[in-house]
Amino acid sequence: MRLFKLTMLLFVGLLLSAQQVWATQITVSKNGDITSVQAGIDQAQPGDTVFVKAGRYVEYNIQIDKRITLLGEDNAIIDGDEQGFVVVVKADSTVIKDIEVHNSKAGFMDDYAGIVVEEANNVHIENVKMVNNFFGIYLAKSEGTIVKGNHIIASRQRETNSGNGIHLWYTKDVEITNNYVSGHRDGLYFEFVEGAFIAGNESENNIRYGIHFMYSDNCRYERNTFRDNGGGVAVMYTSNVEIVNNHFADNWGSSAYGMLLKEINRSIVTGNTFTNNSVGLYMEASSRNKVKDNAFEQNGWAVKLMANSTNNTFTENNFIANSFEVSTNSRMNYSNNFDHNYWSQYEGYDLDRDGVGDVPHRPVRLFSILVEKQPQSLLLLRSLLIDLLDAAEKFMPVLTPETLIDSKPQMEPVL
């Protein structure tokens, strides 16, 4: 019996070794024997590498239906000529690396994309330059895919004729790291995604959101930058999300914000910076979230907390030089708690020198309530009348939520 097992192990080892030996490289070049990328893929065996030499290859609907590595030389470009999908991956463990993919067809009827991964697992897409595709990279019903270090750009002007840079639908355990995305509808879009890890990406100048995800639980987002997008970042209908050490900046406009949380529960927002946004953080119908160790600086509104949000905690955050620190739309506050934050507009004192203000801080100005109800009144922001109203409201709150206070404001920044 023992001899039989040893024989089988040896046989399997020989098979694996033979497979590695048999793996070959097929070269595609403009002046070689194989001049078409699809022809190179068709001739490849599972495990082979298809190497594309420099040049522009006008092809579309390229099908990868076996496990290969598609590798490009510098300036190797597959150009879809706006005729259809450019590359369609349907094989597990496919690798696409160091190549350029240009000009897919545009259209929502078929969700055209530069690279589509459809019902294939453990696919690896790295260092690919995507130019002027409708959707850049589109993952559907796949698991374990890695999308790393890609440069994805487009120059669309309207939502109606633009797809997303990186689009995930019904995927699981995906890593999206160190990509640059610009000029699409949403930089990154996730729907029905589970267990994704998104880190080190830069998403800017997109028409709608830097990142937009819905129904995507148990994901972690860290060290990403979302800058100058139409609406910042939107996080909707999701639970157990970790949003850590990201930078939300320059999302500026009448309906723009750094990050929108809508019906988000039991999640963590920590270590982020919100700088120069119309609204830093907008929360609606969200509950039991922890907002800690974040910096809100030079925003129009640092936080807009709608009254239908409950049981959220804001601790040890910095609120510096915002026009409005916190705004809400009701006198009611349902167990949202502010504690140990630093407020640059705090006017209290610290007689016992313990670093904590001796009187509570009320971050909600009466004027912010008025602006919420009558946006045109924002024209009075710097007027003496508004300052007098705010001062009176601090002593005798009538319209602002009486319990929405920080009872232990910090005298110095906490970060």
Dump pLDDT digits (tens) for 9-42: 445 454 444 445 467 999 999 999 999 999 999 9
Instruction: Categorize the per-residue pLDDT at 75 as very low, low, confident or very high, splitting at 50, 70 and 90.
Output: very high
410 in a structural domain = no
15 in a structural domain = no
CATH number for the domain spanning 44: value is 2.160.20.10
61 in a structural domain = yes
Domain limits for position 322: 30-399
Lowest-confidence segment of 26-30, 277-281, 368-372 by average pLDDT: 368-372
What average pLDDT score do residues 67-77 get? 97
69 in a structural domain = yes
What average pLDDT score do residues 242-253 get? 92
Nearest of 247, 249, 293 to residue 270 by alpha carbon: 293
359 in a structural domain = yes
Number of domains in the chain: 1
Q: In this structure, is the dihedral angle defined by the CA atoms of residues 11, 15, 20 and 22, taken in order, positive or negative? A: positive
Mean pLDDT, all residues of the chain: 89
Whole-prediction pTM: 0.86
343 in a structural domain = yes
At residue 312, what are phi and psi to the nearest 5 degrees? -100, 150
What is the percentage of the chain residues whose pLDDT exceeds 70? 87
Q: What end-to-end distance do the CA atoms of the chain give, in Å?
A: 66
Instruction: Categorize the per-residue pLDDT at 5 as very low, low, confident or very high, splitting at 50, 70 and 90.
Output: low
Instruction: Categorize the per-residue pLDDT at 335 as very low, low, confident or very high, splitting at 50, 70 and 90.
Output: confident
Lowest-confidence segment of 5-14, 89-98, 265-274 by average pLDDT: 5-14
d(CA 114, CA 35): 20
List beta partners, residue 264.
238
For residue range 289-308, list pLDDT tens digits in order. 999 999 999 999 999 999 89
User: pLDDT at residue 254 above 80?
Assistant: no
92: which DSSP letter? T
For residue range 119-151, list pLDDT tens digits in order. 999 999 999 999 999 999 999 999 999 999 999
38 in a structural domain = yes
154-160 CB contacts, 8 Å cutoff, 24+ apart: 154/182, 154/183, 154/184, 155/183, 156/183, 156/184, 156/185, 156/207, 157/207, 158/207, 159/185, 159/207, 159/208
Instruction: Categorize the per-residue pLDDT at 329 as very low, low, confident or very high, splitting at 50, 70 and 90.
Output: confident
121 in a structural domain = yes
